[in-house]
Copies of this chain bind each other. A is one copy, B any other.
Amino acid sequence: MRYAVLGTGIVGRTVAARLASLGHEVVIGTRDPRATLDRAEYAEWQEAHPSIGLAAFPEAARHGETLVNATGGRVSVEALTEADAAHLQGKVLIDIANPLDFSQGFPPRLDPVDDDSLGELIQRTFPQLRVVKTLNTMNCQIMVDPARVPGEHSVFLSGDDADAKKAVHDLLASFGWPDGSIIDLGGIETARGTEMLLPLWLRLMKALGHTDFNFHIQTARPSS
């Protein structure tokens, strides 16, 4: 399948590399491809991943049958606006970003929080997209290689479109997520819950001294 991964940071690159390794045609979207390639870190990564394209947001979005939002959560709406509405029509957007606001230092705040979420904001702003929030509750190595953390642990799905969630479920399975580890929380409104895990995630990172951990929902009864 053709994927557009929006965002050139470590999260976007990690997901793009994993998609490409599974045989998908991947283009990374950025505001200014020339400026991105001027970053030594990106240029080096690009050299190691020659099959992955780099393009401006509109061209990347046009390429992708499915889009992945790996931009900073505070600029995601801007990036999608640049991508051009015509290239979003009917497509699944996998939103793995978090609306972290570092303007007041570390740990960051969330904005929006509690009465709204980035997932909902994107779905509301771009009703032509079918937004599925997932993977935003762990580090990006675990996203694409869940076996990195031994034992059972969980990944969540939030979205209003059942077919879109089914497609993302299948993609997660191809990343190595066992069926029982994928928890469908319901509509996109439930993204509030998973985005609000981030404050605990950040404090666990500090308490544990690393990010190789994930949340697991341990349950006494089989889930319905």
Identify the A interface with B (CB < 8 A).
Answer: 109-110, 113-115, 148-153, 156, 183-186, 190, 192-194, 196-197, 199-204, 206-210, 212-221, 223-224
B218 close to A152 (CB less than 8 A): yes
In the complex the two chains form, what is the Cα distance from A148 to B183 in whole Å? Answer: 21
Q: How far is the CB of A190 from chain B (nearest CB, A)?
A: 5
Provide a sorted-by-A list of 30 A–B residue pairs whose CB atoms are within 8 angstroms: A109-B114, A110-B114, A113-B113, A114-B199, A148-B220, A149-B218, A150-B220, A183-B207, A185-B207, A186-B203, A190-B203, A190-B207, A192-B203, A193-B199, A193-B200, A193-B203, A193-B204, A196-B200, A208-B219, A208-B224, A210-B219, A210-B220, A212-B219, A213-B217, A213-B218, A213-B219, A213-B220, A215-B215, A215-B216, A216-B216
Q: Which residues of B contact A203 (CB under 8 A)?
A: 185-186, 190, 192-193
Q: Which residues of B contact A194 (CB under 8 A)?
A: 200
Known contacts A114-B110, A115-B109, A197-B197; decide if A204 and B221 are in contact (CB<8 Å): no
Q: How far is the CB of A143 from chain B (nearest CB, A)?
A: 14
CB < 8 Å neighbour of A200 from B109, B151, B197, B210: B197
Q: How far is the CB of A150 from chain B (nearest CB, A)?
A: 6
In the complex the two chains form, what is the Cα distance from A216 to B209 in whole Å? Answer: 17
CB < 8 Å neighbour of A210 from B115, B199, B215, B221: B221
CB < 8 Å neighbour of A207 from B150, B192, B216, B223: B223
Q: Which residues of B contact A208 (CB under 8 A)?
A: 217, 219, 221, 223-224
Q: How far is the CB of A73 from chain B (nearest CB, A)?
A: 14
A217 close to B204 (CB less than 8 A): yes
Q: Which residues of B contact A200 (CB under 8 A)?
A: 156, 185, 193-194, 196-197
> Which of A110, A115, A209, A217 has most B Cβ within 10 Å?
A217
